[in-house]
Amino acid sequence: MEMQKLYLLVPLAPLVGAIVAGLFCRVIPRWVAHTATIAGVAISFIASVLIFNDVQAGNTYNGTVYTWLTSGDYRFEVGFLIDTLTTTMMLVVTFVSLMVHIYTVGYMHEDPGYNRFFSYISLFTFSMLMLVMSNNFMQLFFGWEAVGLVSYLLIGFWYTRPTAIFANMKAFLVNRVGDFGFILGIGLVLAHFGTLDYASVFLKAPDLANNTISLFAGRDWATVSLMTVTCICLFIGAMGKSAQVPLHVWLPDSMEGPTPISALIHAATMVTAGIFMVARMSPLFELSTTALSFVIVIGAITALFMGFLGIIQNDIKRVVAYSTLSQLGYMTVALGASAYSVAIFHLMTHAFFKALLFLAAGSVIIGMHHEQDIRKMGGLRKYMPITWITSLIGSLALIGTPFLSGFYSKDSIIEAVALSHIPGSGFAYFAVMAGVFVTAFYSFRMYFLVFHGEERFGKGAHDAHHDHHGDHDDEETSHDHHHGLAPGQKPHETPWVVWLPLVLLAIPSVAIGFIAIGPMVFGDYFKGVIFIDHHAHPAMEHLAEHFHGAVAMGVHSLTSLPFILALSGVVTSWFFYMKRPDIPAAIQRRFSAINTLFENKYYFDKFNEVVFAGGARVLGKAFWRGGDVAVIDGVLVNGSAKLVGWFAAVTRFFQTGYVYHYAFTMIIGVFVLMTLWINRA
C-alpha cells in the first residue's frame, strides 16, 4: 500500500507545483513559483529512484487507481503499470525535467511570463508521467493529448510574435493528423478486443493474430489483417508525436519557443512518447511483419533525409532540432527491426546528450546576447569554457564516439538493422550508415563555427542587431530588441544555474551507455515487458551472439565502418569550415538546385500549405458559400422570411375591412369545400 502512495506521488507532485505557479502566478513572487515547481519535480525524481530500486528487487505493479466510467461491458479506468520500461521512462523524464527547471531560473529570469512558464513545464511533466505510467489505452490517450496541449502552450509561449503563433498552430494541426490515426487504432482495439487494458489486450492478441477486417464493406480486395491495420494506425499517432516523415514538419518550427522547452519537449520527453508507445505495444507489433516493415522504412527516411537538412542550418537551435529528427528516425528503425530494447536504450542515452546540446545552445545564446546565427560566432571556447566542454561531450556522444553513451546505443541500432530480415531493412541499413557521416558532419560544423576559428562577433552595427532575413524571429523579447554583441563586447560564461544542468547532463552522456548496455539490451532487464517473436524476427538473438561486453564492443568499433564514417565527417567538417571555407560556398553554388531543395525542406511545407491547408480552405469556403450562405441563410432563414412575407402580402388582399369582400370570400370557400366533398364522394 505504501508503494501505491509513492506511485501516486510521482505524477501528483509536479501537478501541485504547476497549480501553485499557475493559479497564483500574478500574486506570488518569482521565488515561490520556481521553488514550488522545482520541489515538485525533485520529489517526483526521488520517488522514481525509490520505485526503480523496488522494481529491480522484483516488485512490479499493475492496478487500477479508480474507475472513471462504466458503459455496458466497457470500463474506462485510471491505473498504473509499474515495470522496468515504466521506471526507465520515469527516471529519464523526471531527471531531464529537473535539469530544465533549474536551468530555467537563469534563462527566463528577465521574462515577464516567468511564473507562467514554470507552471507550463511542470504541468508538462505531470502529463508525460501520466502517459508513461498508464496501464490502459484510455489513460495513455489522456497523457498523449495532455502533453500535446501543454506543448502548444509552450511553443507559443511568446504569443505576441506571429512566428510563435504560426509554430504552435502548425504543431497543433500536424499532431491532430497523427492523433486521428492513433484514436482509430485505439477504437479498433476496443471494438475487437473488448477492453482497453494493456494486459488483457496483450493476452488476447495471439488469438486474433489471423483475424481480418474489411476496410470497405463488400469489397474482397479491401480485406486486410486486423493486427496490421491496428498497429499502423497506432504508429501514425507515433509519427505525429515523434516527428516522423511526413508528420515531422512541426518540430523545427517549434524552436520558436524558449530554449528550455526545446530540451524538455524535443530531447527527452514528448517526441519520445511515440517510441515508448510502440515498445510498449511490442506484443501487437510482433504479430504483423507488414506493420514492422512500414515502421522501419518511415524511420529510415526520417533518419537520413532529416539529417541532410541539418547541414544547411545556420540557427544554432535548428541544427540541434534536425539532429533530433534524425535520431528519432534511428529509434524508429530499431523498433521496425524488432530491436525494441535497443530503441529504448537509444531513447535514454539520447535524452541526456540531446538535452545537454539544447541547453548548451541556450547558454551560447545568453552569452552572445541572444544571437542565434552560428555564422556570427566563433572562438567562444576561451570565453565560455564550461559551455564549450559540455557541448563537445554532447557532440561526441551524438556522433557515436566509442565508449561514450551515444556510441553504444547508436551502434547497436546499426548492427540490429544489419541482422534484420524485415522487408525494407536493406534500405534502412544504408540510411542509418550514411546518417553516421551526415550526423558527424553537421554536428561538428556547428561545433567548429561556434567554438573555434575566427571571432566573428561584435564587428559592427550590423552585427549588433539580429538579421531577421531568412531566419525566424528573436529568441528573446527585450525592450530594445537588441541582438548580438555590440562592437567591443565579449561573450561571457553563463550563471551557475545555467551551466550546472549542463555538467549534470554531461555525466550520463559519458557513462550511462557503458553501464546500461549489458543489462538493458542483452540482459533480462526487459524480460516479461518487451516481447519478441525470435523465430520470425531473430535480429536480437543474432546481435546477442556478437556482444562480448561493453569494453570489447568499444575496442572493436575502432576499426569498424561506422567509426570511420563518423571520423570522416568530423575531419571533413573541420577542413571545410576551419581551413577552406571557400569549398562549402563553392559546393553551394555548384549544386544550387539541391541547396534550394534543402532550404525549402523538400517542399513539405509548401505541399501542406497548398494541398492540405489550401484544400481545407477551399472546402471550408464551399461549405460556407454553399451551405451557410446559400442553404441556411438563403433557403432556410431568408427563404422562410420571404415565404411568410409573400403569404402576408396575398392575405392582405382579402383583409380590406369591407363586409361584401368577406361575404364573397366565404362563398368562394364554401364552393371549394363542396366541390372537394362531391369529388371525394
What is the C-alpha to C-alpha distance for residues 228 and 75, in angstroms, rounded to an integer? 25
Is the pLDDT at 477 greater than 50? The verdict is no
Is the pLDDT at 624 greater than 80? The verdict is no
Is the pLDDT at 667 greater than 90? The verdict is no
Query: pLDDT tens across 145-155, in order?
Result: 999 888 888 88
Which of these ranges, 34-48, 64-78, 289-303, has the smallest mean pLDDT? 64-78
Is the pLDDT at 495 greater than 80? The verdict is yes
Question: CA end-to-end span of the chain, whole Å?
Answer: 87
Query: pLDDT tens across 262-315, in order?
Result: 777 766 678 889 999 999 999 999 999 999 999 999 999 999 999 999 999 998
Which of these ranges, 78-82, 247-251, 642-646, has the smallest mean pLDDT? 642-646
Q: Which of 516, 395, 384 is nearest to 448 (CA)?
A: 395
Mean per-residue pLDDT, 364-390: 90
Contact between 25 and 136 under an 8 Å Cβ cutoff? The reply is no
Mean per-residue pLDDT, 48-66: 92
Name the band, by pLDDT with cuts 50, 70 and 90, for residue 434. Answer: very high
Residue written as cell 524476427?
537
Residue 61 cell numbers, joined: 505493479
Cα dihedral 445/446/451/457 (nearest 10): 110
Counting beta carbons within 10 angstroms of the beta carbon of residue 434, is it exposed (0 to 12), middle (13 to 18) or buried (19 or more)? middle
Is the pLDDT at 441 greater than 60? The verdict is yes
Name the band, by pLDDT with cuts 50, 70 and 90, for residue 416. Answer: very high
Is the pLDDT at 483 greater than 70? The verdict is no
- What's the pTM value of the predicted model, to 2 decimals? 0.87
Which of these ranges, 38-47, 59-68, 131-140, 253-262, has the smallest mean pLDDT? 253-262
Name the band, by pLDDT with cuts 50, 70 and 90, for residue 190. Answer: very high
Which of these ranges, 421-430, 455-464, 509-518, has the smallest mean pLDDT? 455-464
Contact between 358 and 471 under an 8 Å Cβ cutoff? The reply is no
- What pLDDT, on a 0 to 100 scale, did the predictor assign at position 466? 42
Stated as kind and residue range, the H or E segment containing 104 is helix 84-107
Percent of the residues in the chain that have a pLDDT greater than 90, as a whole number: 53
Name the band, by pLDDT with cuts 50, 70 and 90, for residue 481. Answer: very low
**Ordered alpha helix ranges (H), 108-195:** 114-133, 137-155, 162-193
Query: pLDDT tens across 149-182, in order?
Result: 888 888 888 888 888 888 888 888 888 889 999 9
Residue written as cell 460556407?
624
What is the C-alpha to C-alpha distance for residues 170 and 123, in angstroms, rounded to an integer? 21
Mean per-residue pLDDT, 2-10: 89
Mean per-residue pLDDT, 348-355: 92
Is the pLDDT at 560 greater than 80? The verdict is yes
Is the pLDDT at 218 greater than 70? The verdict is no
Contact between 400 and 412 under an 8 Å Cβ cutoff? The reply is no
Which of these ranges, 380-384, 450-454, 587-591, 657-661, has the smallest mean pLDDT? 657-661
Name the band, by pLDDT with cuts 50, 70 and 90, for residue 654. Answer: low
Contact between 415 and 486 under an 8 Å Cβ cutoff? The reply is no
What is the C-alpha to C-alpha distance for residues 284 and 588, in angstroms, rounded to an integer? 46
- What pLDDT, on a 0 to 100 scale, did the predictor assign at position 345? 95
Residue 569 cell numbers, joined: 565527417
255: Cβ contacts below 8 Å, ≥ 6 apart: 167, 262, 315, 317, 318, 321, 472
Arithmetic mean of pLDDT over the chain = 87
Name the band, by pLDDT with cuts 50, 70 and 90, for residue 660. Answer: low
Is the pLDDT at 469 greater than 80? The verdict is no
Is the pLDDT at 662 greater than 90? The verdict is no
Mean per-residue pLDDT, 533-559: 90
Which of these ranges, 75-79, 512-516, 653-657, has the smallest mean pLDDT? 653-657
Query: pLDDT tens across 95-131, in order?
Result: 999 999 999 998 888 888 889 999 999 999 999 999 9
Is the pLDDT at 216 greater than 60? The verdict is yes
